[in-house]
Structure 1
């Protein structure tokens, strides 16, 4: 157990490295530089044995900044546009369940884990929610947490680079209601967003630090109440803190613990991304929304990470955010029931019939 002074030094070192990595990635014009730069730098150094720690509460602060910034996009005109595409949003959110079940089956067959562990490792829901639900069903918590950490890192890394090199930045009409910082209204924005955090935390709603600001600020924006924008440096800082927190999930023991399981989990994530790409390629032929926006909306990445990617690449932030919110809610609510049916189906497959026993 490190002493308080050593812990502070590890945190300071991590933040300095994250800042340098973010600046370097920005200088090189890489996609999502202030998130991916720190994420890769910290993850590589941690895996190599460097003792770096994330800032306590840094992940939540990053989620708050991102959730607040995203809420400013939900103008009345945008809500009307989302209403016209509600069927597509439902299909993309629902596809996460189907693709998650396919990933779970792959992980169970080749990853040498129980059906319950594979089920919650394969579903692209919130990592903390899937771990809690896995514990109730007797799943291996360390395997589920590791699978989701690897999934988020892979998706957050691959999708922005694929869109950056395979498609030009979008020019969709979705724009935040507040386009500039108004320091007189800025305290109102902060107060409203933090009130959302407190409300969601009190109600014990998952992802309170991103969903609370998102829905409260989004509600005020939908009511056309003039608010301030978040300063660019604050949004970048939020990405840095989130990237640093994701990077510190990795350690020298991470890949040594269960290399076969992690390899299969990575393969399952790749298969899910391929299925998403094929699905949205077909869906893009039916609706007037660019495929890059559809891919971000249906991808199995984290809600905050995919939404901020849409923001940075000028794609449909509300569509991506709304789909991921619905996906998280759908998977969190339906996962226990789906798991019971999945386990019952697997038990039936492995239970010999009378004919087999004779």
Structure 2
């Protein structure tokens, strides 16, 4: 683990020197992925990853001032459309995957092929979708590989696209607290830790991110601005999150159905383009900047897209609200939708 963290730190410093977007996450993610796939001994640690998610969740919650909260509530309809879009896009992705791999995965029973492609295409968290896939008899290694690859491609592609676009610093007028006050930081850290611990005890998805985010949101929406998060702590959190993503790409991952991975990669880029078009339409309807809507509706992970918005200062509260609401909706609806969709195809049940 020490070897992995040292490599990740060197990659982050190199990306800072190269002026890449979100260097403290992109550098560790890319180098750890490559080194892991080459078979070198890399390792992440769940407690370290949880700590990184805790810090990022608290940092994002600081953006939800009362004024921003009122704006988010006023755009509830746009968030709802984003949820419908994500569910529909996932269904379409699953239908396409199934049609492409019907022959190549012909050894699978029809019901297992359906569940594998369905849960591999749902735009949700990798761990949660893999657990649901296992419950319904899917090929979990294909589901996990599909989500890992999608998140990697989105996390790397979109920040560089934003840098090429030249958009940044849309949040400069935000009233978020920018000074570090150690007593306030200690109090905020303690409360957000309790929130994260409580979410974990309740078995919720992404508990360390969501718990810290929700507690800090409540504090900030109440008008309290106790402290900012130190930049070095935010950078360290981004580094360990990048490592936690990178160590998924083992040599076994490289040998996981190459044609399946190629199809997922192609579909991931197609989804990014479709989401960009949807984001432009939503930007016209809401008056928000298109860059904010791109991050809010992109098929990436909630932490990764929110970090991108934070570092580039691209409408952090709206991006976080869109991504959080989509995550919750997908977790609540993806299994009932699976049962409904599968019930329409009785001949394909195993």
Counterpart residue number, 1:217: 216
Kindly indicate whether residue 288 of structure 2 is the aligned counterpart of residue 289 of structure 1. yes
What is the SS of the residue equivalent to 1:265?
helix
2:167·2:291 contact (CA, 8 Å) conserved in 1? no
Give how far 1:56 is off: 4.0
Asked if the contact 1:36/1:243 (under 8 Å) is kept, the reply is yes
1:29 paired to 2:28: no
Tell me the secondary structure at the aligned position of residue 43 of structure 2: coil
1:168 Cα deviation from its structure 2 partner: 2.0
Distance 1:164 1:28 in 2: 13
- Assess if the C-alpha contact under 8 Å between 2:296 and 2:305 holds in 1: yes
Q: Could you say what the CA RMSD is over the residues aligned between the two structures, in angstroms?
A: 1.5
Residue in 2 aligned with 1:306?
Answer: 305
Q: CA deviation at 1:177?
A: 2.9
- Quick one: distance in 2 between partners of 1:94 and 1:143? 25
1:123-173 residue CA offsets vs partner (Å, 9 max, x unmatched): 111111111111111111111111111011000001101111023214236
C-alpha offsets along residues 1-22 of structure 1, whole Å, 9 cap, x if unaligned? Answer: xxxxxxxxxx111000000000
Aligned pairs (5 A) from 1:1-358: 11-111=1-101, 112-113=104-105, 114-172=113-171, 175=174, 177-347=176-346
CA contact (8 A) 2:90 2:121 kept: yes
Question: Which is higher, the Rg of structure 1 or of structure 2?
Answer: 1
Q: Is the 8 A contact 1:293 1:310 kept in 2?
A: yes
**Helix, strand or coil at the partner of 1:306:** helix
After superposition, the C-alpha distances for 1:3-55 in whole angstroms (9 at most, x for unaligned) are: xxxxxxxx111000000000110111100100010000010111112111113
> TM-score normalised to the size of structure 2?
0.94
Q: Which moved more, 1:280-289 or 1:238-247?
A: 280-289
**Is 1:152–1:301's contact at 8 Å kept on the other side of the alignment?**
yes
Check whether the contact 2:29–2:246 (CA below 8 A) recurs between aligned residues: yes
Distance 2:268 2:280 in 1: 18
- The answer as to whether partners of 1:178 and 1:229 remain within 8 angstroms in 2 is yes
TM-score relative to the length of structure 1: 0.92
Residue segments in structure 2 that go unaligned for 5+ positions in a row: 106-112
- Partner Cα distance (2:279, 2:163) in 1: 18
User: How far 1:271 moved relative to its partner?
Assistant: 1.7
1:292 and 1:218 map into 2 onto residues whose CA distance is: 23
Aligned length: 340
Is the contact between residue 100 and residue 272 of structure 1 (CA under 8 Å) also seen in structure 2?
Answer: no
Q: CA deviation at 1:93?
A: 2.1
Cα drift, residue 285 of structure 1: 2.0
CA–CA distance in 1 between the matches of 2:157 and 2:149?
Answer: 12
The 2-side partners of 1:278 and 1:268 are apart by 15
